[in-house]
Chain A
């Protein structure tokens, strides 16, 4: 990039380079330390039995089979609810409101405030609203819905950014061709905005799977295999919390569960990226 016209020695350039590379090295170093720690302590506990059998002796022995299933269900409910609402709101904010409109500004600000609500307040709110007022009790459904509330601001804001980045030319050409707004949206804009959606999804899934305080009060502590969405189910993050902070001698399995969580996250992120590539590739051919 711009190599031919560079001066042979540019102090500013060198300084910037050093800064950027050291930031990257620092970040990588810290994260490798953390991940390495988890890997080191958790790897020797992982086995097929660990992944499929239920926990015994308060989690010190046995496995985490039902917990993985509960986590997957909670995540599905969360994404199933937050994706339509999130993408819809983002589309409205980006395409159908101007920057001065009151509704747009109010919604954006309320979402910003929502993104700052502490996870424990979400847990207490979820407990009062979903478990008690709506009568769902301690269940995977309450947990998923509470997580959807937490994930919405991230999803909406980054999808909105994705839409803003689509060149105006697309919309003008579509209008010139007489396409309806809906068609423009579904066939032209949405695929183009998928990178923004993807970032929101990855951040949202990350936030959801990492959530502990909100789930203790909503989807609960029961480590049995859930029979339906209305059953209480323990999520991986809660299991890790319980094993490391509440149960003596649970550290080994806590590390192993953390490792499983990391792998699960890798799988979800990988699938999301692949889906995005697949979609984008089939829809838009960019020059």
Chain B
């Protein structure tokens, strides 16, 4: 059969083609269990803030291990996508990493954790603390050199977050600034980008989520967290409720949830996942 050397019809290739076709058509996962009558089934699509995605992903995995017939699909795309998708029914649940806005009152919002926001400096920067007015002056461009606040003689590199991010909104709200007032040299998107920017520049100042900063600082990244209003910046102070800059993390649905969504939301708000929340360096809500 192979004498004419027709490349496509050799036996090896037929087997290869057939097995590839089979692979495409037949579901790969083995172990289909028969769901018990009292167990939950179905699929939930959860979209929204990338900050929340790892946490909800982990909660979802634990939920799936409790109810093997359930699938929780977590996608990212931003808080506004979470709101929009929940409203349009493209997602069952949305993730929003900030307090709900006025025009979002029509959605049912369920807080699952808290997160703090604090300024960070490079570890080798001699400045240990900054008063609120000093932070405002630095971010509006009135103070441009570290020696004006007790540091070395070097120009300050101000790191700001991109518009629309909830950390930015929390920061601006507390310091009573408007977005147009901020004069930054670097604008970043995600928290880790902020951490790496500050870690690579001795004269930079930025602000990120406390959870991210605390994790990195305790794992050898050369940054340090600055206190706000005299309160030390740590997940502990956010837990105690004494840290002034914090934001709630929500999951939302369009209408009051029923069935699988309700079960999942209740699970996400329960004590059973507090260890997962701490593992991601957020703060569980005290109840």
Q: Do chains A and B touch in the complex (CB under 8 A)?
A: yes
Which A residues fall within an 8 A CB radius of B? 57-59, 69, 76, 132, 137-138, 216-217, 220-229, 232, 242, 244-249, 279, 282
Please name 14 further chain A to chain B contacts, defined as beta carbons within 8 Å, in addition to the given A137-B45, A248-B216, sorted by A numbering.
A58-B55, A58-B57, A59-B54, A216-B76, A216-B77, A217-B77, A220-B73, A221-B57, A227-B28, A242-B53, A242-B54, A248-B191, A248-B192, A248-B281
Cβ of B193 < 8 Å from any Cβ of A?
Answer: yes
Asked if A226 meets B216 with Cβ closer than 8 Å, knowing A232-B73, A279-B7, the reply is no
Residues of B within 8 A of A58 (CB): 54-55, 57-58, 280
A246 B75 Cβ-Cβ under 8 A: no
Cβ of B83 < 8 Å from any Cβ of A?
Answer: no
Query: How many whole Å from A46's CB to the nearest CB in chain B?
Result: 21
A138 B75 Cβ-Cβ under 8 A: yes
Residues of A within 8 A of B71 (CB): 224
| 25 pairs, CB–CB < 8 Å, chain A vs chain B | A57-B58, A58-B54, A58-B57, A58-B280, A138-B45, A138-B73, A138-B75, A216-B76, A216-B77, A220-B73, A221-B57, A221-B75, A225-B29, A227-B29, A232-B73, A242-B50, A244-B192, A245-B192, A245-B193, A246-B50, A246-B76, A248-B211, A248-B281, A249-B216, A282-B5
A245 B190 Cβ-Cβ under 8 A: yes
Asked if A248 meets B215 with Cβ closer than 8 Å, knowing A223-B57, A228-B28, A282-B7, the reply is yes
Cβ of B279 < 8 Å from any Cβ of A?
Answer: yes
Residue interface mask B178-206, A partner, CB < 8 A = 1: 00000000000111110100000000000
Cβ of B12 < 8 Å from any Cβ of A?
Answer: no
B28 A221 Cβ-Cβ under 8 A: no
Residue interface mask B43-86, A partner, CB < 8 A = 1: 00100001101110110000000000001011111000000000
Query: How many whole Å from A218's CB to the nearest CB in chain B?
Result: 10
Residues of B within 8 A of A228 (CB): 27-28
Instruction: Pick the residue among B28, B45, B75, B211 that contacts A226 (CB under 8 A).
Output: B28
A283 (CB) vs chain B CBs: closest residue = B7
Cβ of B148 < 8 Å from any Cβ of A?
Answer: no
C-alpha spacing A132/B27, complex, angstroms: 23
Cβ of B105 < 8 Å from any Cβ of A?
Answer: no
Residues of B within 8 A of A226 (CB): 28
C-alpha spacing A227/B73, complex, angstroms: 13
Residues of B262-281 at the interface with A, using a CB-CB cut-off of 8 Å, are 279-281
C-alpha spacing A249/B77, complex, angstroms: 21
Interface of A is mostly: loop
A221 B53 Cβ-Cβ under 8 A: yes
Residues of A within 8 A of B76 (CB): 216, 221, 246
Residues of B208-246 at the interface with A, using a CB-CB cut-off of 8 Å, are 211-212, 215-216, 219
Residues of B within 8 A of A246 (CB): 50-51, 53-54, 76, 190-192
Cβ of B90 < 8 Å from any Cβ of A?
Answer: yes
Residue with the highest number of chain A CB atoms closer than 10 Å, among B24, B190, B192, B211: B192
Instruction: Pick the residue among B27, B51, B57, B216 that contacts A227 (CB under 8 A).
Output: B27
A222 B192 Cβ-Cβ under 8 A: no
B58 (CB) vs chain A CBs: closest residue = A58
Residues of B within 8 A of A76 (CB): 20
B32 (CB) vs chain A CBs: closest residue = A227
A229 B190 Cβ-Cβ under 8 A: no
Residues of A within 8 A of B29 (CB): 225, 227
A220 (CB) vs chain B CBs: closest residue = B75
C-alpha spacing A224/B76, complex, angstroms: 15
B281 (CB) vs chain A CBs: closest residue = A248
C-alpha spacing A217/B90, complex, angstroms: 13
C-alpha spacing A113/B179, complex, angstroms: 36
C-alpha spacing A79/B99, complex, angstroms: 44
Residues of A within 8 A of B215 (CB): 248-249
A247 B192 Cβ-Cβ under 8 A: yes
Query: How many whole Å from A6's CB to the nearest CB in chain B?
Result: 45
Residues of A within 8 A of B189 (CB): 245
Residues of B within 8 A of A137 (CB): 45
A229 B24 Cβ-Cβ under 8 A: yes
Residues of B139-177 at the interface with A, using a CB-CB cut-off of 8 Å, are none
Residues of B within 8 A of A132 (CB): 90
Query: How many whole Å from A32's CB to the nearest CB in chain B?
Result: 22
Query: How many whole Å from B210's CB to the nearest CB in chain A?
Result: 11
Residue interface mask B124-149, A partner, CB < 8 A = 1: 00000000000000000000000000
A222 B54 Cβ-Cβ under 8 A: no
C-alpha spacing A76/B17, complex, angstroms: 13
Query: How many whole Å from B165's CB to the nearest CB in chain A?
Result: 13
Query: How many whole Å from A171's CB to the nearest CB in chain B?
Result: 22
